Structure 1
Amino acid sequence: MNITSGGFVLAEILEQVDSLPSPPGVAVEVLRLTADDSCCIDDLAQVIARDPVLAAKILKLSNSSLFRRGEDVTTLDRAMMVLGLKTVKLMALSFSLASSLPQASNSGSGFDLQAYWRASLTLAVAARALGVLTRSRNSDEAFLCGLLARIGQLALSEAMPERYRAVIEQSPDNLPDADLERRHLDFDHHDVGAALLESWGMPAMISQAIRLMGTSELPTELDQRSRQLGVVLELARHATTVLCESRKGPALHSLHELCREHHGLDEAEVDSFLIGLQGGIAETAQLLNIDALESIPHDRILEKARMQMVNISLGTALDLQQSSNRARELEQERDAFEEKAMTDKLTGIRNRAFFDETLRDVVVARRNGEYSVELGLLVVDIDHFKKFN
């Protein structure tokens, strides 16, 4: 892919991301095992055991509300058996990559890293929870995609800090959205993030899903599994907008519509789901050693979103009423103009224009068989007509 904007080429942007470290050794090894179809859980356990911090996170994850199944898990081997090979691969990647990303910005771009992590964690937890809720086979892939979906924004803030600051300053939220980025840069953070992950050797399904998050609709040629992942991420994106951004009302409306259309979920179920995400987000932040994030109760956020929906509905109704009133005014103005055009202003009786139009209509009606009575024309000339004035 060769995306250019003002002399910047995507490859050059990636080369300039000096402060984003390469994946740590454990992540590289996990990536290698991910590409190896013969990899077994014992192979993965040996790699993870070499990193005590990662091993502790996997153990803690198996006891978290996201994955816990019954009694406490106390050993890494048991944790990996509980989680399963695919989940351990994807979560080990998530934890390793997240630990290598910055929590404080030095780029001078004005990039809000706390907002970045809040949005990333919300998207990751919402995506996985939606995957489970909709019985998707891709819930763990959805978590990893959500966690890394905005990594392109980190890259942009490091590679082109001044230009990206200008984009950030145009955003109503702390983080610019993809549409705003495309208007200023001709590409968005999904393009950059997908290319960065590809350069790290990330599975194609993950990088492709992140790239497609910047498109208006999924390509028709996508396989069923990738399409299912894309739908889950789209729902999670709306959930994240509700919980983390200013346009809460429209996003909540879209989420209600999509969940009802695709999964038969009513509004109460969707709202309950959003409120229930709060614990999982806090738990995941602890697992990833992310500093305490600003935490507003989700039920209060939903109240604000509902108020926005009501205000938008009232505004729409008012606009429709104003449009209807204006249409009536225009119709009345037109009728008044026609009346004026067909009436002699001195006498108030119909003028020659009215006569010509009426005669034309009658002749046409008679030709079409719509007017069967005899048609005659009487011309009257009134002497000294000016005396009537």
Structure 2
Amino acid sequence: MSAHIDLARLPGGTILPSPAWRRHWLATLWQQQVPLDELAEQLGCDPAMTGKVIGLANAGVPPGERRHAAVSAAMLAAIGLPALRQACATPAPPAPTCAHFDAQRYWSHSLAMACAARVAGDALQLAPADELYSCGLLANCGQLALATVHPQEYGELLGQYGNGVTARLLGEESQRFGHHQLALSAILMRDWGMADILCDAVLCHAAPPGFGRAGRMTDLAKLLKLASGFADLILRNGAGPREPALATARVLGLDAGHMETLLRHSNAEWSEWRDILEPHTHPAPCRTRTRVRPAARQVFSEFI
């Protein structure tokens, strides 16, 4: 059976949903005089809203000028609150009801991966840390697209092959829908105007090119693979095998001790948001994530 995904429904992220409570929470922010840096933090922890806002900002960037890849207060100021309100008021589809797709885990893993990508990126200096945060957040938005556009067919596929980003699942996704989840993530990111090197890193991060294919994009893909491994460990409260993440860390020049340092800092940043991601809790007053502290940078500088 073929159920190729309609790419015409993807540009702009119009088919990507956010949790219902999160849409309600963001709606209340427009009625308050929230500082732009706090608003940027709130928008920037949601994959659907992050993609939409980055795309909106890049639509106004003249050809040849540097495009945006992260939500920031300066970006929101350039867009303007009226345009932001209009974009965020666009009706979004409900969260997917796709069998075997754990939506809560998807959103939690996306943010954990984003936090890990920012922390590791700040340490390794492969790209601006906030851009890597966006890449971590958006790296698996293609799976959300599949679960939203084809919930029944994709649920059947997940029932057969599981949620893990494996070669078998990616192959079946390509055969059934025309594109696998990572390719769809890259397509969406390109449509939002993000740099090709970031999109390519997301596309191949599950299986980065091996030796003999060295280059900045390959390093970025490996860093995102490490961030994904960190996210898995974070959501398991640190339980489970370390070897997959450690193997990637070593390729990036990190030993076990350095990896554990990055993992602790990633978990600390993630923990600041864990409570408000629980669906049964009420959102706390708007707050911002803690930026990487100078002490953390000092620790990281020991192995940069």
TM-score between both structures, scaled by the size of structure 1: 0.50
Alignment-mate amino acid for residue 50 of structure 1? L
State which of 286, 292, 296 in structure 1 corresponds to 2:278.
292
Q: Deviations over 1:99-146 (max 9, x none)?
A: 989796244445322101111011111111111122323422221110
Establish whether residue 195 from structure 1 lines up as the match of residue 187 from structure 2. Answer: yes
What is the rounded CA distance, in whole Å, between the counterparts of 2:62 and 2:134 in structure 1? 14
After superposition, the CA RMSD in angstroms is 4.2
Of the three residues 167, 171, 177, the one matched with 2:165 is 177
* Residue of structure 2 aligned with 1:268, choices 257, 273, 293: 257
Distance 2:91 2:102 in 1: 14
Task: Please show how residues 341-352 of structure 1 align to structure 2 within 5 Å.
Answer: none
Q: What secondary structure, in the 3-state scheme, does the structure 1 residue paired with 2:61 have?
A: helix
Aligned partners of 1:111 and 1:165 also within 8 Å: yes
Task: Give the AA of the match of 2:270.
Answer: I
Q: Is the 8 A contact 2:111 2:270 kept in 1?
A: yes
Which whole-Å deviations, capped at 9, do the CAs of 1:135-163 have from their partners, x for residues lacking one?
32342222111000111011101222112
Q: Which amino acid aligns with 1:9?
A: H
8 Å contact 2:9–2:15 — kept in the other structure?
no
Change (3 A) 1:225 1:163: same
Q: Which residue type is aligned with residue 265 of structure 2? A: G
Shift of residue 218, structure 1, vs aligned partner? 5.5
Which 5+ residue runs of structure 2 have no aligned equivalent? 18-47, 281-304
Aligned to 1:7: 2
Counterpart CA distance in 2 for 1:102 and 1:285 is 24
| Aligned twin of 1:344 | none
> Greater CA deviation, 152-161 or 103-112?
103-112
SS in 2 for 1:33: coil
Q: Which amino acid in 1 is paired with 2:277?
A: D
Which of 48, 51, 60 is equivalent to 1:32? 60
| Deviation readout 1:71-96 (Å, 9 max, x if unpaired) | xxxxxxxxxxxxxxxxxxxxxxxxx9
Give 1:367's aligned residue: none
TM-aligned CA deviation for residue 42 of structure 1: 11
Tell me which amino acid in the other structure corresponds to 2:246.
H
Code of the aligned partner of 2:2: G
CA contact (8 A) 2:96 2:151 kept: no
Q: Which amino acid aligns with 2:16?
A: L
User: Offset at 1:283?
Assistant: 3.5
Greater relative contact order structure (CA < 8 Å, 6+ sep): 2
Q: Distance in 1 between matches of 2:218 and 2:171?
A: 27
Q: Which secondary structure state, in structure 2, belongs to the residue aligned with residue 256 of structure 1?
A: helix
- Written as runs of structure 1 = structure 2, the 5 A alignment for 1:48-59 is 48-50=79-81
Return the alpha-carbon distance in structure 2 between the equivalents of residues 52 and 131 of structure 1.
31
What's the CA shift for 1:225?
2.9
Equivalence for 1:277: 266
Q: Is the 8 A contact 1:138 1:225 kept in 2?
A: no
Does residue 227 in structure 1 map to residue 218 in structure 2? yes
Structure 1 pair 36–254 and aligned structure 2 pair: CA distance change class (3 A): same
C-alpha spacing 1:180/1:272, structure 2 compared with 1 (3 Å): same
TM-score (norm 2): 0.61
Structure 1's unaligned 5+ residue stretches are 1-5, 55-95, 295-389
**8 Å CA contact 2:139, 2:202 repeated in 1:** yes
Distance of aligned partners of 1:261 and 1:100 in 2 relative to their CA distance in 1, 3 Å threshold: farther
1:164, distance to aligned residue in structure 2 (A): 1.0
